């Protein structure tokens, strides 16, 4: 009986990993590949061009219905010819054009997948730090760092490729050269909302049912978006979700211990820097160079910078945590002045972070290349050296993380925006 159960599980895994399952989901959602049939190519040729992610539409008429039916579109439907919004991060390939006949789902899942990209992280975490709750933010970032690190390392150990195309339509190609199992988007899309829910439960006053529903919707949107984008099989996404839940079950109970150590231990700065750097070095030994190596170093650098700044703030008496008698917190009443202050903090803070990243990048890459005698004629090739990519990402994003918690709040105090 044990063997039959195991055989059933293996068959289920093979089914969930089948790229045709992804293709069917895409078809249901209105995504059509131009590689499928000659008819679909004719429709692609009749569609208007796509520039920088903007969809230009072709309305189906009498002469087009035969061709539209070949790609699954019906009479009178609107067909949009688009290309992936970003080029492949490793090869520079801009992907193949495809057709969509459900613009709402296209934009919805594009938004969902952006909830796991750098643009979201560089705005969401600072927003929580500056405008909501710095205590929650620094702990949430700790969870995010471990979830993403373990997910990236597991990808490199397993080495599973992305779903095959065809039959899958590559709506996104930016991460297409990286490995697939598990989906780190699904992992972050599970860990962030549910960790946020459990950390704020009892600390903030809000309907717990509503909070759980929002966390679940966030999770489902991110997970399903990775299948829609053609980046992951259903098995990758399910594994990412379960893996993230497992990590949360382990880390949430010990967050008090880790956070207390980072804030109070006199040797915490040395341990924080060496631990995150050591983890980065380990990840670079798992496989040949790819953008996931840089992403891992970037995540570790951000986590180290946040932890160091929190330690400094604690010992300088800056941004002190609330005492138990000040809890629970309630949402303030929205007013034009409050919204204006919140938006001003976000804009000023993000501009400082972007400037920090640009300046540190301009300084660090040439400096590291000079130290390790790596030619700088082609920066893409130069960054494929571990001795360049690891310190560059670690230093640049460590500084960005440090400024999120230390420099920007000081600037807000000076500008009377605290």
Q: Which of 14, 50, 58, 232 is catalytic?
A: 232
Domain total for the chain? 1
Please state, in angstroms and rounded to a whole number, the distance separating the CA atoms of residues 33 and 230.
Answer: 11
pLDDT at position 67: 36
On the question of pLDDT at 257 being above 90, the answer is: yes
Please state, in angstroms and rounded to a whole number, the distance separating the CA atoms of residues 212 and 218.
Answer: 10
Instruction: Tell me the CA end-to-end span of the chain in Å, nearest whole number.
Output: 64
Please state, in angstroms and rounded to a whole number, the distance separating the CA atoms of residues 216 and 197.
Answer: 10
Per the CB < 8 A criterion, the answer to whether 188 and 213 are in contact is: no
Cβ neighbours for 119, distance < 8 A, ≥ 6 positions apart = none
Q: Which residues of 42-79 are buried (b: 16+ CB within 10 A; e: fewer)?
A: bbbeebeebeeeebeebebeeebeebbebbbbeeeeeb
Q: What is the pTM of this model?
A: 0.82
| Average pLDDT over every residue of 174-190 | 87
| Average pLDDT over every residue of 358-382 | 82
Would residue 394 count as lying in a domain?
A: yes
Would residue 89 count as lying in a domain?
A: no
* 185 part of the active site: yes
Would residue 399 count as lying in a domain?
A: yes
- The tens digit of pLDDT for each residue in 238-250 reads 999 999 999 999 9
pLDDT at position 84: 75
Would residue 324 count as lying in a domain?
A: yes
Q: Which domain range does residue 315 map to?
A: 264-269+281-417
Higher pLDDT, 39 or 344: 344
pLDDT at position 92: 64
Please state, in angstroms and rounded to a whole number, the distance separating the CA atoms of residues 130 and 412.
Answer: 9
DSSP letters along 174-243, please?
Answer: TTTTS--SS-HHHHHHHHHHHHHHHHHBTTEES-HHHHHHHHHHHHHHHHHHHHHTTS--HHHHHHHHHH
What are the structure tokens assigned to 120, written together? 């979201």
For residue 225, with 0-12 CB atoms within 10 Å meaning exposed, 13-18 middle and 19 or more buried, which class applies?
buried
For residue 362, with 0-12 CB atoms within 10 Å meaning exposed, 13-18 middle and 19 or more buried, which class applies?
exposed
Per the CB < 8 A criterion, the answer to whether 313 and 405 are in contact is: yes
Please state, in angstroms and rounded to a whole number, the distance separating the CA atoms of residues 64 and 177.
Answer: 36
Nearest to 100 by CA among 26, 54, 32, 51: 32
Would residue 323 count as lying in a domain?
A: yes
Q: Which of 185, 276, 311, 385 is catalytic?
A: 185
Would residue 208 count as lying in a domain?
A: no
Would residue 188 count as lying in a domain?
A: no
Would residue 136 count as lying in a domain?
A: no
For residue 289, with 0-12 CB atoms within 10 Å meaning exposed, 13-18 middle and 19 or more buried, which class applies?
middle
What are the structure tokens assigned to 79, written together? 């067909």
On the question of pLDDT at 55 being above 50, the answer is: no
Mean pLDDT of the chain: 82
pLDDT at position 89: 59
* 57 part of the active site: no
Per the CB < 8 A criterion, the answer to whether 263 and 45 are in contact is: no
């Amino acid at each position: 009986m044990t063997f039959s159960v195991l055989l059933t599980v293996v068959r289920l895994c093979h089914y969930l990993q089948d790229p045709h399952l992804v293709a069917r989901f895409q078809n249901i959602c209105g995504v059509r590949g131009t590689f499928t049939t000659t008819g679909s190519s004719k429709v692609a040729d009749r569609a208007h061009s796509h520039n920088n992610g903007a969809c230009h539409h072709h309305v189906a008429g009498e002469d087009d219905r035969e061709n539209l039916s070949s790609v699954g579109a019906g009479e009178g439907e609107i067909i949009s010819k688009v290309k992936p919004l970003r080029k492949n991060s490793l090869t520079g390939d801009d992907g193949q054009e495809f057709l969509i006949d459900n613009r709402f789902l296209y934009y919805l899942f594009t938004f969902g997948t952006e909830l796991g990209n750098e643009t979201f992280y560089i705005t969401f975490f600072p927003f929580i730090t500056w405008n909501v709750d710095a205590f929650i933010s620094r702990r949430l970032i700790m969870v995010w760092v471990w979830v993403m690190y373990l997910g990236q390392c597991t990808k490199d150990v397993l080495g599973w490729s992305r779903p095959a195309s065809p039959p899958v339509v590559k709506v996104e190609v930016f991460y297409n050269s990286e490995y697939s199992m598990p989906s780190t988007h699904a992992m972050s899309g599970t860990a962030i909302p549910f960790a946020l829910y459990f950390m704020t439960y009892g600390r903030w006053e809000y309907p717990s049912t509503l909070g759980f529903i929002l966390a679940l919707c966030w999770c489902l949107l991110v997970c399903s978006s990775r299948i829609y984008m053609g980046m992951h099989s259903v098995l990758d996404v399910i594994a990412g979700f379960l893996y993230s839940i497992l990590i949360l079950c382990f880390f949430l109970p010990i967050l008090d211990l880790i956070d207390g150590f980072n804030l109070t231990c006199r040797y915490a700065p040395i341990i924080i820097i060496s631990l995150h750097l050591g983890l980065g070095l380990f990840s670079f030994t798992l496989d040949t160079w790819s953008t996931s190596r840089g992403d891992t170093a970037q995540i570790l650098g951000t986590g180290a910078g946040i932890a160091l700044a929190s330690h400094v703030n604690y010992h300088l008496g800056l941004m002190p945590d609330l005492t138990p008698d000040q809890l629970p917190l309630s949402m303030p009443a929205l007013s034009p002045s409050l919204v204006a202050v919140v938006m001003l903090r976000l804009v000023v803070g993000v501009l400082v972070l972007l400037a920090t990243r640009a300046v540190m990048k301009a300084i660090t890459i040439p400096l590291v290349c000079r130290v390790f005698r790596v030619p700088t004629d082609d920066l893409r090739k130069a960054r494929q050296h571990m001795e360049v990519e690891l310190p560059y990402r670690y230093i640049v994003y460590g500084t960005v993380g440090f400024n999120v918690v230390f420099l920007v709040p000081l600037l807000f105090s000076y500008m009377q925006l605290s």
